[in-house]
């Protein structure tokens, strides 16, 4: 069932994901939403620090879906599409946000939003937390990749409190589509925002580096590359 988001906004938290996970473990209902104007220990995928100054959006959603672990990653795509929709609302000149696998949101080649999905390991009362960070006013400096903010693009950004309402509405729309039709509509929407077929990609993870051209997004959300040895499925790693 699509959640009705109950949003709590805090001046400061160490991590909205950690707070949301603690609430979920204590029984918080589907749709519980934690937003912080500032995080002191925000993090992204693979344990990376997520710089979280006031003026940006830092929010985590508690979701309760009784689905196998193999399908949980689908909800990360819903979050990425919702964040891209939020960014689109404020871009000028018809520009649209793009998506990088699995769920980074880009404007041009610069990252403007990211997703951190964390799930409960216990089967009794399954929950997962979708953490979403959007650079509204500030793009963090000194990163190994390009970063952007709405403000840096010459846009007057929304206040975080307004942005979280817009994001929750977009997320609700994508979750409703996922509930009624499965992953197919999310996959189709992701492909419209993803890399063009034939785009050269490099995936690093563990001790391996894989290179190829973008071929497809599989029906289960895996990245499919075309390599010298044929099609290759990728289920984890950092894409560049």
How do residues 141-180 score in pLDDT, each as one tens digit?
Answer: 777 778 899 999 998 999 999 999 999 999 999 999 999 9
**Tokens at residue 134, please?**
């959007």
H or E element, residue 210 = strand 208-217
Alpha-carbon gap, residue 85 to 185, rounded angstroms:
15
How far apart CA 45 and CA 13 sit, in angstroms, is 19
Can you give the pTM of this predicted structure? 0.94
d(CA 205, CA 9): 35
- In the chain, what are the domain boundaries? 6-193, 200-239
CATH topology of domain 200-239: SH3 type barrels. (2.30.30)
pLDDT tens track, the chain, 240 positions: 678 899 999 999 999 999 999 999 999 999 999 999 988 866 655 455 555 678 999 999 999 998 888 899 999 999 999 999 999 999 987 789 999 999 899 999 999 999 999 988 666 568 999 999 999 998 887 777 788 999 999 989 999 999 999 999 999 999 999 999 999 999 999 999 999 999 999 988 766 788 999 999 999 999 999 999 899 998 888 888
Name the CATH topology of 6-193. BirA Bifunctional Protein; domain 2 (3.30.930)
């Amino acid at each position: 069932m699509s959640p009705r988001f109950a949003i709590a906004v805090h001046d400061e938290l160490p991590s909205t994901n950690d707070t949301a996970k603690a609430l979920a473990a204590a029984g918080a209902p589907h749709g519980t939403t934690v937003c912080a104007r500032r995080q002191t220990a925000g993090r992204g995928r693979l344990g990376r620090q997520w710089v979280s100054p006031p003026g940006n959006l830092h929010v985590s959603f508690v979701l309760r879906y009784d689905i196998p672990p193999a399908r949980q990653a689908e909800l990360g795509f819903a979050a990425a599409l919702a964040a891209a929709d939020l960014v689109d609302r404020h871009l000028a000149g018809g520009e649209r946000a793009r998506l990088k696998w699995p769920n980074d949101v880009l404007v041009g080649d610069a990252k403007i939003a990211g997703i951190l999905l964390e799930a409960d390991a216990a089967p009794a009362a399954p929950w997962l937390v979708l953490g979403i960070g959007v650079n509204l006013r500030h793009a963090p400096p000194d990163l190994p990749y390009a970063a952007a903010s709405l403000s840096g693009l010459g846009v007057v950004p929304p206040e975080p409190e307004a942005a979280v309402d817009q994001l929750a509405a977009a997320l609700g729309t994508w979750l409703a589509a996922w509930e009624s039709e499965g992953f197919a509509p999310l996959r189709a929407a992701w492909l419209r925002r993803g890399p063009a077929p034939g785009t050269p990609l490099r995936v690093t993870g563990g001790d391996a580096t894989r290179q190829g051209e973008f071929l497809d997004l599989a029906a289960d959300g895996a990245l499919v590359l075309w390599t010298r040895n044929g099609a290759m499925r990728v289920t984890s790693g950092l894409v560049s």
